Amino acid sequence: MRSIFDNIINYIKNNRFSDTQRILLGFLMTILAGSFILALPVSHTPGAEISYLDALFTATTSVCVTGLTVVDTFSAWSLFGQVVILILIQIGGLGIIAFITGAMMLLQRKATLANRMLIENAYNLENISGIPAFLRKVFLGTLLVEFLGGVLCIPVFYRDFGPFGIFVSFFHSISAFCNAGIDIIGPVSLCDYAGNFWLNLVTMLLIILGGIGFIVWWDVLKTLKLLRQKKIRRERFWEKLSLHTKITLTATGILIVGGWFLFLVGEWTNPETLGPMNFFEKVLAALFQSVTTRTAGFASIPQGALRPGSAMLCVILMFIGGSSVGTAGGVKTSTVFLFFLSAWSVIRGRDRITAFKRSIPTQLVRRAAAILLISLSVFCGMIMCMTIFDKSDFIDIFYEIGSALGTAGLSRGVSGTTGAGGKIVLIICMYLGRVGPISLALAFSNIKGKRNIQYPEQSITIG
């Protein structure tokens, strides 16, 4: 195991790649390695016909924690294959560079300065000090939450699957926390459990904890510790949180509650989704849809039966995704939050962009605008490519591309029926969605650092 980690990290480190290119290459190499293993007969159930393209698609959706599938995970893959998929999900959720460096640390190998710089870029950290401690907390926190989630799922799945339900429980917990949305329950995801309050609650908590990001975890826990030690008053709890945590929690709350309400309104009378349910089940299913849409990928109602307005809402939520330094995908809540703050400052005629009595650097706002513009451009381009290879309804293609780029994993059936060309487009979308279009733009940019040149200002007409 040590030699494998050494070979991968040394190849990435010893070649003349930028830090961003090394991160992209790490994900790509993991996907290819996973696809070769999944293509082996030992990974398949007897009689399953799985091509290498299907194995590549499955490895990509696992490492990119997307959840789109071209074959049924519960029936096409052997126990060995399912374990491989689970490992790929865990690697993808934590990030390949963090996973390799963390594994080397567990093997008592010192993390080098180059590896620490990779972690800094992979997790968008401000500096490289304390990275070993950060990674240690990430790994221990992840394992603890996933273990507790698996234990909490056992009563439900053991009842339905017997002893195999224990494996199903931990598979489900890891997949939910990593926002992967891949399950081995059956062909309809969690639709048979739409009214099971306990399983829905545990799954939503795992999704949210993975999606808000590790930095938010430690900030909230640190502030709770100060409160418990009576170093701060209860009314100052929110004030003591960092700006990143405040923005993340605020944006997450708005998106979950807003999506919940809009799904209730849009699907309340839909006979194929919420219509036949009682009041409690409708409220629960709409809440679960709002949570899972933001990159988790589990479904408790048929996605193909959603009304066009609800499908559009899903794509918007999938495009936004989760929060930075977490397991979720999308352009991130903080990116969209900054974009709207910038617009609000223009409306109010303010020169500075502020949030929670703090000014936000203009550079961050420009970066948020760049991420949104590049992501939207990639989104539109991939939709055009997909329409060339697949003749499904446009709303279904629109939904599938949004799900792939947002690494959400919810599907209206296109992934399972599209041809080789469509699968390749979706593979590219999942990869871009995980590493980020802005990362690719930076990775392959040949622009060197140049001295800033000041030119005379001149106004233009807009609007």
**pTM > 0.85: yes or no:** yes
Q: How far apart are CA 264 and CA 290, in angstroms?
A: 10
Query: Which of the four pLDDT bands, split at 50, 70 and 90, describes residue 112?
Result: low
6 pLDDT higher than 80: no
Please give the biggest Cα pair distance in the chain. Answer: 74
pLDDT (tens digit per residue) in 127-154: 555 666 777 778 888 889 999 999 999 9
Residues 6+ apart with CB under 8 A from 396: 304, 412, 413, 414
The proportion of the chain whose per-residue pLDDT surpasses 70, expressed as a percent, equals: 83
What integer pLDDT is reported at residue 446 of this predicted model?
A: 47
pLDDT, mean over the chain: 84
Residue 232 has what pLDDT? 85
- 338-351 pLDDT, tens digit each: 888 888 888 888 88
Element (H, E) at 358: strand 358-359
SS3 77: strand
Higher-scoring residue by pLDDT: 327, 229: 229
Q: Decide which of 5 and 286 is more confident.
A: 286
**Is the pLDDT reported for residue 437 higher than 50?**
yes
Kindly tell me if the per-residue pLDDT of 450 is higher than 60.
Answer: no
The DSSP annotation for 376-430 comes to HHHHHHHHHHHHHH--S-HHHHHHHHHHHHTT----SSHHHH--HHHHHHHHHHH
Give the DSSP letter string of 215-254.
HHHHHHHHHHHHHHTTSS-GGGHHHHS-HHHHHHHHHHHH
* Stronger pLDDT, 356 or 442, i.e. the higher one: 356
Residues 203, 183: Cα–Cα separation, whole Å: 12
Distance, CA of 309 to CA of 421 (rounded, Å): 28
The pLDDT value given to residue 350: 82
Residue 73 neighbours by CB under 8 Å, 6+ apart: 58, 82, 85, 182, 183, 184
Q: What is the mean pLDDT of residues 105-119?
A: 57
**Is the confidence at residue 313, as pLDDT, over 60?**
yes
What does the pLDDT read at residue 158?
95
